[in-house]
């Protein structure tokens, strides 16, 4: 018998033995499989109906008290908190929950049974969202509450994983021979020693003690949000302060997390929601977390010395070292963060300071030397202001004029606290590598704008804490921080920024400034960081973690922290909080109003829709100033908020906006520019207000020229929302409850050589797809409709970003013309240089249409459509009945349309589309090679599609929805299309840059990795 046969026979014997035990003692008929286990035998038992159990066969000589403690703890939790997600002990038909049974070799083993929890371990879950981590904290807090009165003699054991006993590593640090690491661990030991008396004073209780990422079970996936299904493995239980349990869980949550501070805060907030903490406890979490990781790395180093041939021992410590060496989490700031996340005073005494300031409101000396009660407010918010023009660059000349619209002969005006602004453009405000990364936008102070040189007065007595000059662009310039105390002795601080640095000759740290004393004055732009003259007046309840370098603005997703550290300073200005507090538009309120006032079929993109209030080039901004990379909207062809288009629109609206019933040179100038981009056969333009109207007009021209009515078009096409356009748009009329197919419309298969009837391995696929038109022609002629024309998106977009095989449309056009019809090219999605190598899509197919339709991109957001055709077709339409479109061909529209075409040329956007398209295609192709969920990547220039598939090759609608929403979570907007909505649609404005392309590829890479984790688990 071979070794393999022996192993197989042994496994069969093992499974047979324990299957018999489950039948005899628990009355279960099961199939068994083996699970991982370091010391014990864990068997997954499945009944015929799919119910799962975990049979725990403990190692030989395992102490009975250890297993008994776990069994009773699980039973205790189930009794105290029945809704708590945790395994349930399944008792035998008769006898105690913990049995002693002989194993397959006749040796006695402790055996018990648990129900199987759904899902997989947290270590294998992506993404590790704040919401999921918060829930883990809630479950851990609930577990601690359930175990608070659990008693067992085994809890008071002495072992190395009891965090109360972490000091054991002090005498073993010699094992760490790297001097830098050795010094790091020494510092952790010093911090732990200082903490020990406070820790010893806390009450002790039963704790899980090992809530690591393999002991937390999670269920959910692509189509369902992830939720905690349970906390397993009580093998490390002991008696300790509950904060030790939380710190251990925080250590594992933080490892390799891209935002460990936010992750820890989410965990602690969740714990606090279920089991309220004290401020003193939250302050201990970071030093205890480090102590736990120090124990881990010292222990693994000692084990590696004893087991030099076991590579796992040293590999397992790598994430811990990465955290200890690579994360500069400040203890004071982290303590404040955790307190704020729990809604606790950000520092001891903070509540007393705030109460005192509120009581003293109205009694402080006026900072600006006058009563500000009636001072007007001026908003620089994302929603209400257009400062700066370019939200990624605020040049000195623009910074010096910020807010000039509120100037009133030197009268003081105020800027809001808690106001999201886009004026903070320097890289120091960005929190990631990309332009669309998180950035700090929310103002943490009140601004008072006044002429340079205006004096400032101390609102109350204070000691100079900081007096310095910061000369960086958009920095504070001259800045003073004063330290104050309330009568109870609690400190707080005020900051005055953008000052004339002349005070440096008079003030130094430690000096006292009396209440009402003039101590500084406003600087001009040459000395105050480059800003228009004003004081940035900020309050802070602690400087621990911000020291002398206060952030003047905060990340909108961290305002729970910054509002707590730097609350509204209105009281010190003798103002009401509400006067100076800014409230951005409530997105949920807008959504509710929209639902009340608009039709239900007006859709919103993304599971969590975005509210976008500003744009620039290929980026958009929400009401909080969060940037989004727009990789989806082809309407702003030359970029959002293009300055030239802004200027032209404003200029023309100052003059006149008329229509084509009157002569104006803008109309013929626009027509000349459009026709210059097309072959000479095109001589006539019709200007309308949308692509829908242009396609509707195309049907009229085709019918007027041919005398026939029938139209042939590819399936799942889209040509607009007018009655006629919907009738030729299978994407609309074939939907459930759609109007259905008209008798004058014939559909042919989309020339999709990835998933269609004829594939890429067929060299004759173009001719075969084109051959499908023959039957459509016959059917129309048989019904007496005749063939008026064939209309198609040159590259079908809603059909799935399809690139037809070369020769397809040439063959189709030949057949259509032979049947008497005209050929209409819908270039709304593909025209005007988007494809990079060519200006129009029809060039790719080496064809010459009879009618070309252009739509939304030609107006860059202004409603505009263009139909271009031959003189012969135009003459057939000229039957004496006037054609008129009120807004089509308006002077404003014509000037904007011409500007768009000029900008494409003059700013090299077609060449950019080609270069960025190649870069993007190369990155997407690399992802196609790496991930099974990517079935196909196709496109040209900045018209690209990524077809996502299931493991069986079918259309992956759920995966596509997941990817699209996760890209939005990472601030990248993309769309999805195709008959099964499984194709990512990437069509950014033509201004996109290489950094943005790299962001798309990098983020998509990570998200497809998440998909692989879901589909393979």
In this predicted structure, what is the pLDDT of residue 431? 92
Would you say residue 848 has pLDDT above 90?
yes
Question: Would you state the structure tokens that stand for residue 734, as one six-digit string?
Answer: 């074939």
Q: Which residues contact 921 (CB under 8 A, 6 or more apart)?
A: 937, 939, 944
Question: Would you state the structure tokens that stand for residue 752, as one six-digit string?
Answer: 């999709």
* Burial call 602-626: b when 16+ CB within 10 Å, e when fewer: eeeeeeeebbbbbbbbbbbbbbbbb
* In the block, residue with structure tokens 């809890």: 155
- Integer-rounded Cα Rg, in Å, for the chain is 35
Q: Which residues contact 218 (CB under 8 A, 6 or more apart)?
A: 119, 120, 121, 122, 125, 132, 226, 227, 228, 229
- pLDDT tens digit sequence for 569-608: 999 999 999 999 999 999 999 999 999 999 888 888 888 8
| Cis peptide bond upstream of 388, omega within 30 | yes
In this predicted structure, what is the pLDDT of residue 888? 86
- Residue pair 100/73 in contact (Cβ under 8 Å)? The answer is no
* Nearest residue to 137 via CA among 256, 238, 228: 228
Question: Would you state the structure tokens that stand for residue 814, as one six-digit string?
Answer: 């030949």
In this predicted structure, what is the pLDDT of residue 328? 85
From residue 110, give the alpha-carbon distance in Å to each of 99, 114, 245, 581: 6, 14, 27, 64
pLDDT band at 315 (very low <50, low <70, confident <90, very high): low
Any idea what DSSP says for residue 22? Answer: I
726-745: average pLDDT:
90
In this predicted structure, what is the pLDDT of residue 4? 42
- Residue pair 694/686 in contact (Cβ under 8 Å)? The answer is yes
- pLDDT cut 70: percent of the chain above it: 98
Cα(95)–Cα(574) distance, integer angstroms: 74
DSSP 132-174: HHHHHHHHHHHHHHHHTT---GGGG---TT-GGGGGGGGGGGG
- pLDDT tens digit sequence for 966-1014: 999 999 999 999 999 999 999 999 999 999 999 999 999 999 999 998 7
Would you say residue 1016 has pLDDT above 80?
no
Any idea what DSSP says for residue 896? Answer: H
* Nearest residue to 713 via CA among 736, 731, 737: 731
From residue 689, give the alpha-carbon distance in Å to each of 69, 407, 427, 888: 76, 40, 41, 5
In this predicted structure, what is the pLDDT of residue 3? 39
Any idea what DSSP says for residue 598? Answer: S
In this predicted structure, what is the pLDDT of residue 317? 87
* Nearest residue to 832 via CA among 941, 938, 918: 941
* Burial call 169-183: b when 16+ CB within 10 Å, e when fewer: bbeebebbeeeebee
* In the block, residue with structure tokens 């969202």: 129
Cα(209)–Cα(231) distance, integer angstroms: 11
877-903: average pLDDT:
92
Would you say residue 2 has pLDDT above 50?
no
- Residue pair 675/897 in contact (Cβ under 8 Å)? The answer is no
Number of neighbours of residue 117 by Cβ within 10 angstroms: 20
- pLDDT tens digit sequence for 758-796: 999 999 999 999 999 999 999 999 999 999 999 999 999
Question: Would you state the structure tokens that stand for residue 805, as one six-digit string?
Answer: 């095989």
Q: Which residues contact 942 (CB under 8 A, 6 or more apart)?
A: 834, 835, 836, 913, 916, 917, 920, 986, 987, 988, 990, 992
Q: Which residues contact 203 (CB under 8 A, 6 or more apart)?
A: 241
Cα(417)–Cα(443) distance, integer angstroms: 6
- Residue pair 793/826 in contact (Cβ under 8 Å)? The answer is yes
22-44: average pLDDT:
90
Cα(24)–Cα(14) distance, integer angstroms: 16
Question: Would you state the structure tokens that stand for residue 630, as one six-digit string?
Answer: 């727009």
- Residue pair 347/542 in contact (Cβ under 8 Å)? The answer is yes
In this predicted structure, what is the pLDDT of residue 6? 42
Would you say residue 908 has pLDDT above 90?
yes
In this predicted structure, what is the pLDDT of residue 371? 97
* Nearest residue to 282 via CA among 274, 293, 294, 271: 271
In this predicted structure, what is the pLDDT of residue 1? 34
Handedness of CA 302, 303, 309, 314 (dihedral sign): negative
Question: Would you state the structure tokens that stand for residue 319, as one six-digit string?
Answer: 């994430």
47-54: average pLDDT:
94
**DSSP 3-state of 244:** helix
> 3-class secondary structure for 803-828?
CCCCCHHHHHHHHHHHCCCEEEEECC
- pLDDT tens digit sequence for 354-388: 999 999 999 999 999 999 999 999 999 999 999 99
Beta bridge partners of 614: 621
Cα(627)–Cα(616) distance, integer angstroms: 10
- pLDDT tens digit sequence for 435-474: 999 999 999 999 999 999 999 999 999 999 999 999 988 9
69-94: average pLDDT:
95
DSSP 405-453: GG--TT--EEE-BT-B-S---SGGGB-SSSTTS-B--EE-SEEEE--TT
Handedness of CA 296, 301, 307, 308 (dihedral sign): positive
107-136: average pLDDT:
95
Number of neighbours of residue 952 by Cβ within 10 angstroms: 6
- pLDDT tens digit sequence for 323-336: 999 888 999 999 99
H helix or E strand, kind and range, residue 743: none
Handedness of CA 577, 579, 580, 586 (dihedral sign): positive
**Average pLDDT value for the chain:** 95
In this predicted structure, what is the pLDDT of residue 313? 64
Q: Which residues contact 893 (CB under 8 A, 6 or more apart)?
A: 687, 689, 859, 862, 863, 864, 887
| Cis peptide bond upstream of 127, omega within 30 | yes
Cα(110)–Cα(565) distance, integer angstroms: 54
């Amino acid at each position: 018998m071979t070794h393999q046969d022996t192993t197989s026979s042994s496994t069969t014997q093992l499974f047979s033995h324990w299957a018999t035990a489950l039948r005899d003692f628990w009355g279960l008929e099961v199939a068994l499989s083996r699970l991982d286990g370091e010391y014990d035998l864990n068997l997954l038992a499945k009944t015929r109906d799919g119910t799962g159990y975990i049979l725990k066969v403990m190692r030989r000589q395992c102490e009975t008290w250890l297993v008994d403690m776990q069994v009773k703890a699980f039973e205790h939790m189930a009794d105290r908190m029945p809704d708590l997600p945790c395994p349930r002990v399944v008792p035998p038909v008769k006898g105690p929950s913990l049995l002693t049974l002989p194993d397959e070799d006749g040796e006695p083993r402790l055996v018990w049974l648990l129900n199987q929890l759904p899902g997989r371990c947290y270590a294998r879950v992506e993404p590790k969202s704040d919401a999921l981590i918060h829930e883990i904290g809630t479950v851990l807090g609930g577990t601690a509450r359930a175990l608070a009165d659990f008693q067992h003699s085994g809890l008071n054991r002495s072992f190395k994983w009891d965090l109360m006993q972490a000091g054991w590593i002090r005498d073993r640090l010699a094992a760490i021979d790297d001097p830098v690491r050795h010094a790091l661990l020494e510092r952790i030991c010093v911090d732990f020693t200082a903490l020990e008396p406070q820790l010893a004073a806390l009450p002790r209780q039963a704790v899980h003690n090992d809530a690591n990422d393999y002991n937390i079970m999670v269920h959910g996936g692509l189509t369902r949000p992830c939720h905690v299904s349970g906390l397993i493995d009580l093998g490390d239980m002991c008696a300790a302060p509950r904060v030790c349990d939380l710190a251990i869980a925080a250590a594992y949550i933080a490892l390799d997390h891209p935002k460990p501070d936010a992750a820890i805060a989410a965990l602690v907030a969740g714990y606090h929601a279920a089991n309220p903490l004290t401020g003193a406890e939250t302050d201990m979490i970071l030093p205890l977390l480090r102590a736990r990781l120090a124990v881990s790395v010292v222990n693994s180093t000692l084990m590696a010395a004893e087991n030099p041939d076991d590579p796992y021992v040293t590999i397992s410590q790598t994430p811990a070292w990465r955290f200890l060496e690579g994360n500069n989490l400040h203890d004071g700031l982290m303590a404040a963060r955790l307190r704020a996340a729990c809604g606790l005073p950000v520092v001891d005494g903070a509540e007393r300071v705030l109460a005192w300031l509120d009581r003293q409101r109205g009694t402080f000396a006026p900072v600006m030397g006058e009563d500000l009660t009636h001072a007007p407010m001026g908003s620089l918010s994302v929603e209400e202001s257009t400062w700066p023009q370019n939200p990624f660059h605020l040049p000195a000349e623009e910074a010096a004029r910020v807010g000039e619209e509120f100037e009133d002969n030197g009268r003081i005006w105020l800027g809001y606290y808690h106001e999201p602004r886009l004026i903070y453009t320097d890289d120091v405000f960005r929190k990631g590598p990309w332009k669309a990364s998180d950035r700090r936008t929310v103002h943490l102070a009140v601004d008072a704008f006044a002429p340079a040189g205006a004096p400032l007065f101390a609102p109350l007595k204070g000691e100079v804490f900081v007096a310095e000059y910061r000369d960086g662009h958009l920095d504070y310039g001259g800045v003073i921080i004063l330290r104050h105390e309330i009568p109870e002795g609690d400190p707080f601080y005020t900051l005055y920024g953008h000052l004339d640095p002349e005070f440096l000759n008079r003030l130094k740290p430690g000096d006292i400034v009396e209440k009402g004393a003039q101590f500084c004055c406003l600087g001009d732009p040459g000395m105050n960081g480059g800003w228009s003259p004003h004081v940035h007046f900020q309050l802070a309840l602690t400087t621990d973690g911000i020291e002398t370098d206060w952030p003047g603005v905060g990340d909108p997703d961290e305002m729970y922290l910054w509002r707590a550290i730097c609350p509204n300073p209105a009281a010190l200005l003798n103002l009401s909080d509400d006067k100076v507090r800014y409230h951005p538009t409530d997105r949920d309120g807008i959504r509710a109003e929209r639902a009340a006032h608009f039709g239900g079929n007006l859709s919103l993109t993304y599971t969590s829709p975005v509210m976008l209030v500003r744009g620039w080039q290929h980026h958009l901004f929400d009401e909080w100033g969060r940037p989004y990379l727009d990789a989806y909207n082809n309407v702003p062809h030359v970029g959002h908020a293009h300055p030239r288009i802004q200027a032209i629109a404003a200029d023309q609206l100052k003059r006149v906006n008329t229509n084509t019933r009157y002569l104006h040179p803008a109309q013929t100038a626009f027509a000349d520019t459009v026709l210059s981009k097309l072959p000479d056969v095109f001589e006539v333009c019709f200007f309308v207000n949308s692509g829908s109207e242009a396609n509707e007009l195309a049907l009229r021209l085709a019918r007027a020229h041919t005398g026939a009515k029938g139209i042939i078009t590819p399936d799942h096409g889209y040509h607009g929302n007018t009655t006629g356009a919907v009738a030729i748009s299978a994407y609309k009329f074939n939907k459930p409850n759609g109007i259905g197919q008209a008798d004058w419309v014939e559909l042919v298969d989309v020339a999709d050589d990835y998933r269609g009837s004829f594939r890429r391995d067929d060299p004759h696929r173009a001719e075969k797809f084109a051959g499908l038109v023959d039957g459509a022609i016959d059917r129309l002629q048989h019904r007496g409709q005749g063939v008026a024309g064939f209309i198609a998106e040159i590259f079908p977009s809603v059909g799935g970003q399809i690139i037809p095989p070369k020769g397809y449309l040439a063959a189709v056009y030949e057949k259509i013309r032979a049947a008497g019809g005209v050929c209409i090219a819908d270039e709304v999605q593909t025209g005007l240089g988007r494809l990079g190598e060519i200006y129009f899509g029809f060039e790719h197919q080496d064809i010459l249409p009879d009618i070309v339709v252009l739509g939304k991109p030609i107006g860059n957001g202004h409603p505009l459509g263009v139909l271009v055709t031959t003189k012969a077709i135009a003459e057939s339409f000229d039957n004496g009945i006037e054609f008129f479109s009120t807004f089509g061909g308006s002077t404003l529209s014509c000037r904007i349309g011409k500007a768009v075409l000029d900008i494409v040329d003059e700013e090299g956007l077609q060449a950019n589309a080609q270069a960025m398209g190649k870069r993007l295609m190369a990155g997407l192709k690399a992802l196609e090679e790496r991930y099974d969920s990517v079935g196909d990547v196709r496109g040209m220039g900045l018209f690209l599609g990524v077809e996502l598939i299931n493991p069986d090759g079918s259309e992956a609608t759920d995966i596509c929805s997941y990817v699209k929403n996760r890209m939005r979570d990472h601030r990248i907007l993309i769309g999805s299309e195709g008959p099964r909505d499984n194709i990512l649609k990437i069509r950014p404005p033509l201004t996109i840059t290489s950094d943005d392309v790299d962001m798309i590829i990098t983020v998509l890479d990570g998200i497809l990795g998440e998909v692989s984790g879901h589909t393979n688990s």
